[in-house]
Amino acid sequence: MRIGNGFQSRPEVRLPEAGTPLWNRYFCLIAAVACSVNFGNFFLGSSMSLWVVDMGGSNTSYGTIHSLYSLVVLLARLLTGWIIDHGNRKKAFVLSSIVFASAMGLMLVSPVFGIFIVMRLIQGAGNGCAITICNTSAYDYMPPDKMDKGIGYITLFSSLVSALTATISVSVYNRKGPSAIVLWSVVSIAIGIILSTLVSFRVPIDRRPCRLKEVINLSQLFEKRSVKPAILAAFSVNFGFGLRSYVILYGRSIGIANPGWFTSVSAIGLIVVRLILNAATVDKIPRKKLIYLGYGVFIVYFILLAFCKNIYMYLGAALLWSVVYGILTPQLQSMAVQAAPEARRGAAASTFFCASDIGIILGSLCGGMVADVVGYGNMFLFALVPLVICILFYTFFM
């Protein structure tokens, strides 16, 4: 059965129309698959900085590894965008998830640090493909008039998983070491693969074999209508997300026993933010007001972290991050997806997430180098520069 502009679905599946409920069967299933995959990713990622430093690495070496990882994720998303629009989503998801989980296990038994890094990068390729397919498939089962809310909930679920994993992961790592971290992550990915068998992934009408010249065609890989919101997200919230990978090390450096609580508290705050926005019918609040509010809180967040001295300021910054992430990510992502026609959603998602990865790469790489030279506090102060540039870009070019 042909649906919309360029997609088909199994005859028994009705895709949601405007005015229909958001919480349909396949949206819930896709959300569950995404949560399982995200759990595996975040559970390992939450302890990665500790793992690298305990192996003898520095902030710069961790930042470099994290940046290379994000670069591989970015490259994987490019191919994934083409697969979403022209290939078999389910097979690509299952294969990438298997690669994702296998690389985790091989990281644990790597005899030398170099092989450890290679396995981490291979894991990034699997992660980039699997997560992009999950998110784009979730868009398909969101009613058009509820996309902002749907993306907000997907963001919320991701943050909740991140919160759960951060505190538990750091605690498990401190008690059991990296082997337990890898085991939990692999089990979670396996659950995601099993759940994916219950999902009807949409099949594009324009099915094509994967040819290299098409895959590297920039006009096919990127959606130009989604570029501006993608750039804005990259150099603001995602640059900040790259810097946030140092928050756990920062917390340990100022004497906080379990700095993983930063992510847990920010997730609790994110729940409150999403409930408030949904209660106020976020679709009726002018987007411009929400985005300026998010950027204003973002400035305060960096300043509070820069001068953080105790657990109260540390967790206060966590709450501010929940406001920033809860407002800016759904708004900018929705702008990027809605700017593209339905048959180009794969390219739009790829464009947005690739730009996001660039921001994370730059945040991780620059943050590590700055932190090694002038410390964590000044690193967060320097982050105000790209943030102010983004505010000006939104004001004059969006």
Segment 276-288 mean pLDDT: 68
Q: Quick check: 330 pLDDT over 50?
A: yes
Rounded CA gap, 365 and 59, in Å?
9
pLDDT at 5: 41
pLDDT at 390: 92
Distance from chain centroid for Cα 324: 14
In tens, the pLDDT along 170-194 reads 788 888 888 888 899 999 999 999 9
Whether the full predicted model's pTM is greater than 0.75, yes or no, is no
- As beta bridge partners, residue 8 has 2, 203
pLDDT at 281: 53
Q: Quick check: 285 pLDDT over 80?
A: no
Q: For residue 10, what pLDDT band results from cuts at 50, 70 and 90?
A: very low
pLDDT at 169: 84
Q: Which of 182, 201, 190, 165 is nearest to 27 (CA)?
A: 201
pLDDT at 12: 43
Q: pLDDT above 90 covers what percent of the chain?
A: 19
Rounded CA gap, 288 and 242, in Å?
25
pLDDT at 304: 94
pLDDT at 6: 44
Domain covering 24-202+221-397 in this structure, CATH number: 1.20.1250.20
Q: Quick check: 13 pLDDT over 60?
A: no
pLDDT at 282: 53
Segment 127-135 mean pLDDT: 87
Rounded CA gap, 329 and 266, in Å?
14
Q: How many CB atoms are located within 10 Å of the residue 224 CB? A: 14
Mean pLDDT is highest, among 98-112, 261-275, 283-297, 384-398, for 384-398
Segment 103-132 mean pLDDT: 85
Q: For residue 217, what pLDDT band results from cuts at 50, 70 and 90?
A: low
Q: Quick check: 224 pLDDT over 90?
A: no
Rounded CA gap, 186 and 198, in Å?
20
Where are the chain's structural domains? 24-202+221-397
Say what the alpha-carbon torsion angle 112, 115, 117, 120 is, to the nearest 10 degrees.
-130
pLDDT at 56: 75
Mean pLDDT is highest, among 103-107, 191-195, 211-215, 263-267, for 191-195
